Structure 1
């Protein structure tokens, strides 16, 4: 990590993760048939509380689409109905698909779902967002946590430490305004925040150091944290920053050369039990996510969501 380097022995973590995955999901050589009969009494309802499990709807981005027409809304309803049947009670939207906040809230209510958090563009110092409108929408939607789906890295916008500090200070101001409305601004990472270093501090460190804990919290994307800083990086970050990390994006990494591609939760190599254990009781939501594989017909977002829910419902830590 940026300000400190800590060495620790975690050789058994991968073994523990693989064992848990095998027991709960039938991977690692355990047959599907044996798991089907053995898993329910051993695992069901004993993992993460259902009230804390959510799913980032970006998983369904290709399926739902980016339109605002009736067909887009119908696909959104289909996704909501399926998620409810899988066991989800929370979702994390990234778009309202052309609906007003009132209409989107009504759709959530119809399917017994809650918006646990929201990804929405909160702007930059050069292009500030209409924060008052966002806060008003959030109030209708019932959302507490919100923030952009990424820092300005698509494409990379900032190349100096001063620019990142200015961006963090902008977020801190937005967070202070949100706090006065009973809402909380969150920052979501990718790999770049851990790979970009200025004077021994990563961009992630800068975002932490230049914001106040009362104004800004963090949603740690576990795949991107591991991708950008190594397999143990999520735990290093948690050990350093503690309960400033309030939400996880639970996203897995495929086996093989590291960093590997995104994998369905529980079928990869990220040691979720150790990560969850390190976080203690500070995690508000565990958000299943699998980035869409645009143009790949073999990817099924419904499978990714269902397997992810079942894993979290089962995992012990």
Structure 2
């Protein structure tokens, strides 16, 4: 069965900060089922963000929030508990993939976050960029070293586009991750430059999404993220939804639908 379709709110961050409720309402109207928050809790506070998500008939898939580790851990957990987030997603820094030793040190922070989150009934998910795949040590990608070091409670949110940019085949990565991958960022584009790529609606770029999303896995949510666009954002989201849902790759939502299971 296809996974549900959501939107990473970074895609519409400017619009949401100007009109939170209206933006979420438009996403629901386009047929999206859920959202992953980014940059909204800090701006509006967790209570208002949660009310707006619920009022739009959307599901909170996950929250993009810093790993709850170190001195600020409890504050991160408090905010996201009030938001109602069950999965907190974040990344390590690019330089933490410069050596196997750096990967291990970074993993310690993620594992601390997983331990703290578990005590509050939440889970951590790791979101990749491209260095995890482009850096190779003794024939093994840094991403594989990282997965070896991570606590088994840490879930995976795979950014398939950045995996491709790092030299990996997204479908093969999803197959190897199996049940561990619960969320996938769905984006498309030319896959030329990490810093400068302009994204395009899903299905109009380089990734064979029909192949990647057909791989058996634990994915619960397909989350569209389009960071840089040359066309209207909502038009790009409409075309992305129509491609994914129209081809049966993802399952959309409808206004007033009962909340779906979270990741």
In the alignment, structure 1 residue 138 sits paired with structure 2 residue 80: yes
TM-score if structure 1 supplies the norm length? 0.70
Structure 1 residues 121 and 129, CA gap change in structure 2 (3 angstroms): farther
CA shift for structure 1 position 168 = 0.8
Contact 1:48–1:314 (8 Å) recurs in 2 = no
CA shift for structure 1 position 261 = 4.8
Structure 2 gaps of 5+ residues are 250-263
**SS across alignment from 2:88:** strand
Deviations 1:61-115 (A, max 9, x none): 3444xxxxxxx3x422221121111112311111125222112212222222222
Q: Which residue of 2 aligns with 1:301?
A: 233
**SS across alignment from 1:224:** helix
CA shift for structure 1 position 118 = 1.0
Q: Which residue of 2 aligns with 1:241?
A: 177
Q: Which residue of 2 aligns with 1:227?
A: 165
Count of matched residue positions in the alignment of Structure 1 and Structure 2 = 246
Q: In 2, distance between residues paired with 1:190 and 1:129?
A: 25
Q: In 2, distance between residues paired with 1:79 and 1:311?
A: 21
Contact 2:89–2:157 (8 Å) recurs in 1 = no
CA shift for structure 1 position 161 = 1.5
Structure number with greater Rg is 1
Q: In 1, distance between residues paired with 2:126 and 2:25?
A: 29
Structure 1 gaps of 5+ residues are 1-46, 65-71
Matching of residues 84-95 of structure 1 within 5 Å: 84-95=28-39
In the alignment, structure 1 residue 105 sits paired with structure 2 residue 50: yes
TM-score if structure 2 supplies the norm length? 0.84
CA shift for structure 1 position 146 = 1.1
Q: Which residue of 2 aligns with 1:168?
A: 107
Contact 1:54–1:285 (8 Å) recurs in 2 = yes
Q: In 1, distance between residues paired with 2:88 and 2:206?
A: 29
CA-based RMSD: 2.4
Q: In 2, distance between residues paired with 1:236 and 1:158?
A: 21
CA shift for structure 1 position 192 = 1.1
Matching of residues 45-194 of structure 1 within 5 Å: 48=2, 52-64=4-16, 72=17, 74-95=18-39, 96-122=41-67, 128=70, 130-148=72-90, 150-153=91-94, 156=95, 159-194=98-133
Contact 1:191–1:227 (8 Å) recurs in 2 = yes
